[in-house]
Structure 1
Amino acid sequence: MNISPDQILFMISAANTIASFTPASVFLCPILNVAGQMYGGYLDSQWKMAVEDNLTGINDNLAVLQSTTGLIGLGTGAGATISAVNLYQTIKLRQEVKELKLVVHGGFISLAKALEDQGEEVMRQIDKVADDVEYRHHRTILAQAYGKFVEAVNWLRDTVNLTHTHTKTASFVGIQGKLVDALADYKNPKIYQHNSAVGRLRRLECSWAIYQTITTIYQLQGESDIVSDRLSSLQRQIREELVHLINLCESQEELDFIFPEIARIHNHDLAALKLWQEQVDLMRSLSPEDLKELENACSEKLLTANNQKQEITALAEPPELLLYNELREKSHFLSLRDQLRFVIQPESRKEHESYISQQAKNSNYQGLAPSNWQEVTDLTVANLYWYFKKPKPSFT
C-alpha cells in the first residue's frame, strides 16, 4: 500500500470539513467538495449534485450581499442602522432566501420586506439610500455584474453534463470569460469611491466569490497546478484587502459591523480555502496508481459522509459575534481594531510587543512585559499597547 493511513485520514477529514461549510456557516460562498472530483463514480452522481447546490448557494449569497448595501449606503451616513444587516442578520437573510421566503429579482432582494420588523429608522434609511443618485448608479453596475454571473452559472450547469471533450473545453473557456467580465464589474473602482469600510467589505465579498468560482472552473478542467496557485493567491488577496479595510475603519459603529464578519471570514472561509488547497496539493503529489488506491480507500466513506451532511441553521447567534461582544466590554475602539488586525495579520503583533517591552522598561513596569509573548492574548497585547500610548483612550 503506497498511500499512508495519514493521507487517507486527511482526505476524509478535509472532505467532511469542507462539506460542512454551508451557506449559513461560510460567508463568502459555499466551498465545493473538491475531493469528489478525484473519484470517478462520485463525480458522476453525488459530486454533480454538489456542484448544482453550490452554484445555487453562490447566486443567493451574492444577491444578499449586494442587497444589504441598500441599507449601508455610501460614505458613512448609515450610522447605527447598519446593525440591521450585521453578521447575524445577514446569515438569517441568506437562510430565508434559501428557504424561498425571500425572492431574488435582478440580483437583489427587497430589503424593505426583509427588514420590515427592524423599525422606522431602518425603513427611512432604506428609502434615503434608494433615492441617492450615486447609489442607483452603483446598483446598476452590480445588477449588470450579477446578470453576467447568472448567465455564466447557467452555462456551467449545462457544461458539466457535456460528454464531448472539445466541446466541454470550449464551453469552459467561454464561461471563464463571462465570469472575468463579471469580476471586472464587481472590482470597478467607481463602486469603491466614497465608500465606508462597511460598504467596501460587502463589495469585496462579492468579488472574492466570483474569483473562487473562476477557480472552480479550473478545478473542473483538472488543472490542479493552476487551482493551487489561484487558491494561494486568493487567500493572500483576502488577507491584504481585509487589513487595508481594517485600517480604513474610523468609527465604533463600523467596527461593530466588520469585526465579527471578518473574524467569521478568518475562521471559516480562509480555513476552507486552505483545506481546499491542501487537498489539491496532496492530489498533485500522487501517481495515477496512488490516486486509484486513494479512491478505493476514501470514496465509500466520503459518499456516506456527504449523504449524512446536516444543514447548519441560522437560529443561534454566531460565536464570532458573541466573542466580539465580550471583547468590547474589556477594551476600546483602537485596541479592538488592533486585535482584529492581529487575527488577519498575526505578524503585526510584533511591533506592539516590542513597543510594550520598551515602554515597560522605560517606565519601570518590567512586569508588564512577559518573557513568553505566545502565552499572551491579543486582547492583552492591544490593551497594553494603548495603555502606554498617549493620550490614553477611555475604556468606557
Structure 2
Amino acid sequence: MVSFIFPPHLQAGLAAGAYEIVKTGAGPLIGVARDKATGRIVGHAIGVTGNQALGQVLGNVAGQMAQTSLLGMNPIAGLTGVISVAQNHHIVQQNKHIIGQLAHVTRSLGVLQTTMGFIGVGTVANVAIGAVSLRQIFKLREDVEKLGIKIEQGFLDLTSLIQDQGQAIQEQLDRVADDIKFEQHRMELVKAYGQFSGAIELIKTGLSCDDESIRNTDLANARSMLGKALSIYRNPNILGDVKAPGHLRRVECAWLIEYEIARSYSLQNQLGSSCQSLRSLAEHIRKDGVEVIDRCETEADLDFVGPELLHIYDNDLAFLDVELNQLDWVRSLPPEDKKQLQSLKISDPPASDRELSGEELSQLPAIAQYEDFKQKSHPLALCDQIRLMMKPQLRVDCIDYICDRAQQEGHRTLIPQYLNEASEFALANLFHYFQPRDDFPEEETEEIPSQPVARS
C-alpha cells in the first residue's frame, strides 16, 4: 500500500480537513494536495512509502522514498520533472532536486552491478549470496553515500565494504576475480556503465542550459546513450547462463536504466512517451521476475531472490503505478490548472544523518513476509506464489484447476466466486494441495524440481 509524505504545513492541513489529496478520475491518490474549499492546488508530496509497515520501521529516515524502492524509483521525481521544465523560476532549486535524484540512481546502479560481480556466473554458496542480499543492498548503498566511496568503471571495491564476513566471503571474491568467463563479460558491463554515467552527466548539463533547444538536444542524446547501455544489459549473449541470483541483479540494472529513459521524456514534457516507457518497464519487471523464479534451482536461490521480488512487487511496481497516475492526471488537466501546477515550489525531503540499524534492515517487511510464507508453505508453492504475483494472468488457469479438483473431491465451497478474491499465497498452496502426491519428493531436499507446476 502506497502512502504519501507531505511537508509539515500540508500534513497539518490534511489532518485538519482543510486540504485533501487529489485523486484521478479512476480513484487512485496521486500525491498532490488541494484546498477543499477553493479546489486550488497547494503543494505536492515530498516522499512515498510503498508499505506502511516499512514506514513504521524506518520512521523519518532521510531519503525514505528511496529506502523503500530497491531501484531508486520515485514517483515524485516524474511530477517534479514535469514542473521544472515548464517553469521560469525556482530553476536552481529544481535542478538541484533532480540532480540529487540522478546521483542516487548512479550509486544504485553501481551497487547493483558490483553485487552482480560478486555473485558471478555459477551457483553461489549460501553465505556468499547472503552478503549481498536485500538488506545488504540497502546497507551498501547507504555506505557508498555516507562514506563518499567512488565507483570506478561501475564497480566498487567490495573488500573494503564487506568486512568481518568470514573467510567464505574472501574466497568468493577471489573465485569471481579468477573467473575468465565472467571477466570477459565484466568488460561489457564496464562499457555499459560508461554509457550510463555519460548519459547522466549529459542530463545534468542539459538541465543547466537556458536555451530550450540545446536542453532538448542534450536530453535526446543522453537518452540515446542510455539506450546503448540498456542494449548491453539486455544482450542475451552476456551472462546468458547465469543463475537466478545473478540474473536478478542483471535485470535490476536494466530496469533502473529503463526508468531513467522514461524520466528523460518527462524532463522534456513529453508525458505520453514517458507514460508509455513506464508501462513497458512495468511489463518487463513482471516478465523478468517470472524468469528469475524459473531459474531457481535450489532453496538457497529462492531464499535470495524471493524477498527481493516481494519487495519489488510491493514497492517499485506500486511506485510505477503512482507515477503513471500522476502523469496521466497532469496530461488531463486544462491549461489553467497546468499553469497553476507549474507555479508550485518543489520541496526537498527533510534531511537526516541517521543510518539504518541492523535491526531495522532485518525487519524489512519483504523479509518478514517471505519468512512467514516459508514457514507455511514449501519451495514449489513459494515459486508459484511469486509467479502469480508477477503474472496475474496465471490466476485464471490456477483457479480453474483448483475448482475442477475441488469438485471431484467434494470441496463444494471452493468456487470461482471465492477463489477470485483469494491471495496468491492461498491459491499457490491450494494448487499444490490438489497436485498428485507423486509430484513431490518424499524426502526434504534443497533442490527445487526443474519443472515447476505453474509454468509461465
**TM-score when scaled to structure 1?**
0.89
> Which 4+ stretches in 1 moved above 4 angstroms?
17-21, 77-80, 309-313, 367-371
Paired residue for 2:32, among 5, 9, 12?
12
Q: CA deviation at 1:376?
A: 3.2
Question: Is the partner of 1:194 in helix, strand or coil?
Answer: coil
C-alpha spacing 1:273/1:69, structure 2 compared with 1 (3 Å):
same
TM-superposed deviation, 1:75: 2.7
Contact 2:206 2:218 in 1 (8 A): yes
Q: Secondary structure at the match of 1:12?
A: strand
1:319 aligns with 2:339: no
- Map Cα deviations across residues 177-236 of structure 1 (whole Å, 9 max, x no partner): 222221122222222321112111111111111111122211111111111111111111
Gap change, CA 1:30 and 1:6, over 3 Å in 2: closer
User: Residues 30 and 378 of structure 1: is their aligned pair in 2 closer, same or farther, counting only changes over 3 Å?
Assistant: closer
Q: Of residues 350, 356, 359 in structure 1, which corresponds to 2:396?
A: 350
Which residue is 1:27 aligned to? 70
Match of 1:130 among 161, 164, 177: 177
- 2: CA distance, partners of 1:52 / 1:158: 10
Deviations 1:57-113 (A, max 9, x none): 111111110111233110324455212111011111111011126442221111222
Structure 2: segments with no counterpart, 5+ residues:
1-19, 34-43, 50-62, 445-456
Partners of 1:60 and 1:330 lie apart in 2 by: 37
Aligned to 2:241: 194
1:154 is aligned to 201
Question: Where does residue 137 of structure 2 map in the other structure?
Answer: 90
Structure 1 residue identity aligned to 2:338: L
Structure 2 Cα separation of the partners of residues 204 and 97 of structure 1: 21
Tell me how far 1:351 sits from its aligned partner.
Answer: 1.9
1:252 and 1:42 map into 2 onto residues whose CA distance is 55
Aligned match of 2:380 in 330, 334, 347?
334
Alignment of 1:203-242 (within 5 A): 203-242=250-289
Q: How big is the shift at 1:366?
A: 3.8
- Which segments of 5 or more consecutive residues in structure 1 lack a partner in the other structure? none
**CA offset at residue 334 of structure 1?**
0.2
The equivalent position to 2:218 in structure 1, one of 142, 156, 171, is 171
Aligned AA (2:422): V
SS of residue in 1 equivalent to 2:258: helix
TM superposition shift of 1:38: 2.1
Partners of 2:174 and 2:105 in 1: how far apart? 27
Larger CA deviation: 23-32 vs 250-259: 23-32
Aligned AA (2:157) = S
Which structure is higher in strand share? Answer: 2
Distance verdict in 2 for CA 1:248–1:34, change over 3 Å: same
Where does residue 379 of structure 1 map in the other structure? 425
Describe how 1:218-367 pairs up with structure 2 within 5 A.
218-295=265-342, 299=344, 303=347, 306-308=348-350, 314-315=356-357, 316=360, 317=362, 318-366=364-412
3-state secondary structure, aligned to 1:168: helix
How far off is 1:136 after superposition?
A: 0.7
Please report the TM-score for the alignment, with normalisation by the length of structure 2.
0.78
Q: Deviations over 1:256-290 (max 9, x none)?
A: 11111111111111111111111111111112112
Q: Which one has a larger percent helix, Structure 1 or Structure 2?
A: 1
Instruction: Provide the rounded CA distance (Å) in 1 between the counterparts of 2:90 and 2:365.
Output: 34
Could you tell me whether the CA contact under 8 Å between 1:26 and 1:268 is conserved in 2? yes
Higher mean C-alpha deviation, range 13-22 or range 97-106: 13-22
Q: Percent identity?
A: 30
Q: Which amino acid aligns with 1:63?
A: G
RMSD: 2.6
Change (3 A) 1:350 1:201: same
Moved more, 313-322 or 270-279: 313-322
Listed one character per residue, the Cα deviations across residues 300-348 of structure 1 (whole Å, up to 9, x for unaligned) are 6x63xx3447689543121101110111111111000011112212231
Distance 1:322-1:153 versus aligned 2 partners, 3 A rule = same
